[in-house]
Chain A
Amino acid sequence: MKKRILALTLAAAVLAVFALAGDVTLDVKEHVLGNGMKILMIPKPGVPRVVCHIYFRVGSINERPGITGSAHVHEHLMFKGTEVMGVTDYAAESKIDAEIDALMDKIYRERFWKDGGDAAQIAAWQKKVDELVAAQKAYIIKDDLWTRYMSNGGTGLNASTSQETTGYYVTLPSNKVELQMLMESDRLMNARFREFYSEKDVIMEERRLSENQPGYFFGEQVDAAFYTASPYHWDVIGWMDDLKKMTKKDLIDFHDTYYVPNNAVAIYVGDFDPQAIVAMAEKYFGRIPKGPDLEPIRTGEPAQYSEKRFYGEGPAPTSLRMMFHIPPDGHPDAAALGILAGTLGSGGGGMGPRGGGGGGGTGRLYKTLVRDKQMAVSASASSRPQWYVGAFQFNATPRLDKGVKPEDLEKEIWAEIDKVKKDGLTEEELQKAKNKGEAAFVRSLASTAGLASRVGRAELKRGWRSILTDLDGLKKVTNDDIKRVAAKYFVKDNSLTAIYTRKSGR
């Protein structure tokens, strides 16, 4: 007992870190639990709400062929209950669940290991499974965690999986943060993946929703061609084959490997007392044993050495996409590449369905290709450093009414690239990019959930202070840096060009 109080006293000595950008402070309070889990806090006194997010250093890049999509499937299964949540009689329910798993294992082996398998045998097993599922239902409290959050005023309730991270979100009244600590720590320790098989059906429907967005299949193939070796090769949703065949055991292994406190950060933004947060975190998250250390991703993207070209037809608008490999997040060239993307591409994206004006058609591509030459409906650029391998991308849609082809836009974009290689940017363009970076930083501090997401994710890779050092890096970029990175990365052998033409079909 005494020991426990001592631990609390230590925990209360919260480390506050102040960092400055211009005149504005990003103040993140930090606390590390004994098991390695990090607690970050950004107090914003006022309206009695607290944004509560947890991020895990795991995403689709931690998968391999055979289990692609499993980070996202796992995220869904985290809502299916624990030993105490979502179930009325765990002992009785878990017995049925084990029987279902055993039968499904037989079905999977028959169906997927053999060529088609014995249909009558599969049907007989499936009938038993259906009966067991019906029996199990008597013990299941549907979406218990979700209901608890909602009936306690939880908003922004969601979870998301990206290539690199997985996050679980809820915003609660200030007096109910303990609910989040309890339920999140409980599912970290005791998640039970009930209804695994019907949830996979839900996720296959989710994949079909993407597939029915015009151009999705082409885009998926282009990405797979661009990233040949690194695990960015597949989309977060995963290949349909893997979704069908992955087993519950795959997911349990995944959970046990990555869902450990030393691989997680919890962040709180809102109206709270940091000492109370730390005390609660010690109590709930602190009880979870530390897991083994996790090795970073091994496979990067090998040099390309020759240009790639990709052609496709389908039901989406005729378009051009050009991609270049760039270094990952944290590399010294990232800032110059970010400035280039903004200066070339700003305001040149497609117009939203409501036709919101403004936002500025100030990018070079907009001014040249959309406004002056009137060759494109839209022309934009983006730079995505990502955690392990980066991509710089140009997108443009031609003016078909003027007989312009994607290849014509490709030539124009190369001409713009060559101008940058030779002369770089103007002083005003450079200053503008720096002003925009600084203003965007100040604006990000005004948000709650957005700030939690940015700080929490940054913490998992290079620490949250990287937000500030990146801003400093941006301010130091010179025109020589711009010319140098343009010459280094914008070369044909480092590129993929994708040309898509509208035609009926998929």
Chain B
Amino acid sequence: MKRTIIAILALTLLCSGLGLAQAKHPSELKYPGLKYDPPDPKAFRTVYAGGIRAYVQEDHGLPLFNITAVFNCGDLYVPKDKAGLGRVLGDQLIKGGTASREGTAIEERIDFLGGSLNFMVQERTAMLSLSVLTKDLDEGLALFFDVLRNPAFREEPLKLAKARFIEQLRQANDQPNAVLSREYEKVLYGDNALTWQPTKATYESIGVADLKAFHAKHFTPRNVILAVAGDFTKAALKAKIDKLASGWKGGAPALPALPKSFPSHEPGVYFIQKAINQGYISLGHLGLEDTNPDYFAVQVMNFILGGGSFTSRITTKVRSDEGLSYNQGSRFAYRWGFPGTFSGYVQTKSSTVGYAISLILAEFDRIRKEPVSDAEMETAINYYLESFADGFQSSLQTMMSFANLEMTGKPMDYYKTFRSKIQAVTKARVQEVAQKYIHPDQAVIMIVGDFEPCNKGGDKWPGPLDKLGKLHRIDLIDPMTGQVAKTP
């Protein structure tokens, strides 16, 4: 017996010396050290002609060239009677052509080169992105700047786009998830630019002049940041961009002030009827901004509550223990310039809707009342620390991250200090921010589903749903008119 032990010991020593020790359990593994410092935004920042700011990285690994222009402009700057203008612009900046090229010709040429040129308008940012092979850099870049600077917004393509978008309104109530998130935000944010939806009338009211005015106001060299990565030299690229941007003028536009406070909502159950076999559920209220100093503690807290996938409490309870759902958890959504939403979410068969909600509410309550465990803290914090380098795997993505920091006015040492701020979060801070940002008594519990079976409940949680709070029935809006629909 003794000899065996010695033999095993010798073997282990020898093997570990060679890196051969075979672990049986992860706790036996010892990892070599790893130090990673994130890239410094300053090393990549440059300014081109006209004051265009840019984050630029040479990356000669592959013969590719990628450039994205991020503008400070979006749906939130569109008036209510023109709702949908951002979407139309998203389609027409390219399809509407430029002063010298038809939209079709631009699309054909980019396609022929095996490249891509895409434009999209989001809530407060709009992005034009080009990707081409290095051999096509000059031609691609010229098209990119032509589209940015000289869109023509021709009548015919605009007419077609509006007709297609109006046709697509018919689908606005098809997907239960889309209905849920739209109506949830309507209750939490009330009636303002955040929640306005396009209708047939608003689409029809959008004309060439609207697009031209919106473009002229927002597409200026001082209102854009470029993110560039690929196979080029910085000096040569600067010469090209300076030339393409020469004569482009305009300061930062005056942008409308955004609402910071929102009408109070009545807590309780909000039910939207749809003949489906599950309830799609969101429950919560407004959250916070990601510039709030509490952000890091909130991230750790939510990881433990319902953001950390299978390691989180909501997933363990609702999915793993009870088998009630495939998809569940909690999230803090963040928006630039105003608070995002906090929500627990789950989709479960009609008879277990009430039960699943009760379990999530219990978890909201528990993280407020009891300190989290050491093991939960360790998992959450280690996840953020150890996965940190993930965000820097692609040079283009890194440049985009830096451009976004500057655009949204976050500190440029955000990434440099990220890990120490996560490390500083304590159990006490987790409980403190849970109490500060989670309020089960104020929760809007929104359900899209089939009312009768959801309201009836099941063995573990018999209905009715108004046990969870005052019941509000919400009628679906006819997306064509924006008025209450006649039939579900």
A residues touching B (Cβ–Cβ < 8 Å)? 1, 4-5, 8, 23-24, 44, 46-49, 79, 84-85, 137, 142-143, 146-148, 150-155, 157, 171, 173-176, 178-179, 182-183, 186, 195, 197-206, 208-209, 211-214, 276, 279-280, 283-284, 287, 315-317, 346-347, 350-351, 353-362, 367, 370-371, 374, 377, 397, 399-401, 428, 431-432, 435-440, 442-443, 445-446, 448, 502, 504-506
Contacts and interface: CB of A to CB of B under 8 A. Distances in A.
A156 to B, nearest CB: 8
Given A153-B383, A155-B390, A505 B275 contact: yes
Nearest to A22: B63
Question: Which of B93, B174, B315, B388 has the largest count of A CB atoms less than 10 A from its CB?
Answer: B174
A153 B104 CA distance: 46
Contact of B160 (A79, A178, A371): A371
Contacts of B120: 354-357
13 contacts: A48-B34, A150-B308, A150-B309, A173-B34, A205-B325, A212-B276, A212-B277, A283-B20, A357-B120, A371-B160, A399-B163, A436-B111, A506-B275
Interface stretch (B24-32, B44-52, B189-197, B220-228): B24-32
A284 B163 CA distance: 60
Contact of A377 (B113, B133, B164, B309): B164
Contacts of B390: 49, 153, 155, 171
B115 A198 contact: no
A209 B327 contact: yes
A137 to B, nearest CB: 8
A93 B321 CA distance: 16
Contact of B87 (A44, A151, A354, A370): A354
Interface in B295-329: 308-311, 315-316, 319-327
A359 B327 contact: no
Nearest to B487: A504
B174 A315 contact: yes
Interface stretch (B165-173, B232-240, B357-365, B461-469): B165-173
Question: Which of A214, A374, A439, A442 has the largest count of B CB atoms less than 10 A from its CB?
Answer: A439
Contacts of B112: 428, 431-432, 435
A342 to B, nearest CB: 9
A211 B29 contact: no
B347 interface: yes
A147 B311 contact: yes
Contacts of A276: 19
Interface string B107-133: 110111111111111100000000111
B20 A202 contact: no
Question: Which of B14, B325, B327, B386 has the largest count of A CB atoms less than 10 A from its CB?
Answer: B386
Give the 3 A-B residue pairs with the shortest CB-CB distance, closest first: A153-B386, A439-B114, A201-B323
A175 B31 contact: yes
Interface in B341-400: 347-349, 378-379, 382-383, 385-390, 392-394
Contacts of B132: 439
Contacts of B22: 283-284, 287
Given A153-B386, A279-B19, 10 more contacts: A147-B311, A150-B309, A175-B32, A178-B29, A182-B26, A212-B278, A315-B275, A355-B86, A355-B88, A432-B112
Contacts of A44: 61
B309 A146 contact: yes
A347 B20 contact: no
Contact of B116 (A142, A284, A358): A358
A446 B117 contact: no
B386 A152 contact: yes
Contacts of B72: none
A351 B119 contact: no
Contacts of B121: 354-355
A446 B310 contact: no
Given A358-B117, A448-B393, A4 B20 contact: yes
Given A24-B63, A47-B392, A357-B94, A205 B349 contact: yes
Nearest to B383: A150
Contacts of A204: 349
A359 B167 contact: no
B118 A212 contact: no
A182 B23 contact: yes
B162 to A, nearest CB: 11
Contacts of B170: 317, 400, 502
A353 B237 CA distance: 34
Given A358-B107, A435-B113, A317 B63 contact: no
Contact of A205 (B108, B117, B278): B278
B33 interface: yes
B348 A205 contact: yes
B352 to A, nearest CB: 9
B125 to A, nearest CB: 12
A175 B34 contact: yes
A283 B90 CA distance: 53
Contacts of A199: 323
A498 B131 CA distance: 37
B275 A175 contact: no
Contacts of A46: 393
Contacts of B62: 24, 442, 445-446
A88 to B, nearest CB: 12
B403 to A, nearest CB: 19
A26 to B, nearest CB: 11
A355 B87 contact: yes
B309 A8 contact: no
Question: Which of A85, A155, A279, A428 has the largest count of B CB atoms less than 10 A from its CB?
Answer: A155
Interface string B128-166: 000111000000000000000000000000001001111
Contacts of B117: 358, 360
Given A84-B24, A209-B326, A443-B64, A173 B19 contact: no
A198 B322 contact: yes
Nearest to A352: B120
Given A205-B278, A317-B171, A361 B95 contact: yes
B118 A357 contact: yes
A437 B389 CA distance: 32
Contacts of B201: none
A351 B111 contact: no
Nearest to B119: A357
B20 A8 contact: yes
A79 B122 CA distance: 37
Contacts of B178: 353
Contact of B110 (A201, A315, A360, A448): A360
Given A150-B379, A155-B390, A399-B163, A360 B20 contact: no
A403 B129 CA distance: 37
A436 B389 contact: no
B166 A357 contact: no
B175 interface: yes
Nearest to A399: B167
A504 B164 CA distance: 22
B5 interface: no
Contacts of B387: 153-155, 173
Given A84-B24, A205-B278, A362 B326 contact: no
A47 B57 CA distance: 15
B259 interface: no
Contacts of A505: 275
Contacts of B167: 377, 397, 399-401
B20 A143 contact: no
Contacts of B108: 360, 362
Contact of B323 (A154, A202, A371): A202
A89 B488 CA distance: 54
Given A183-B26, A356-B118, A358-B116, A377 B168 contact: yes
Contacts of A356: 90, 118-120
A214 B276 CA distance: 10
Interface string B54-80: 000000011110000000000000000
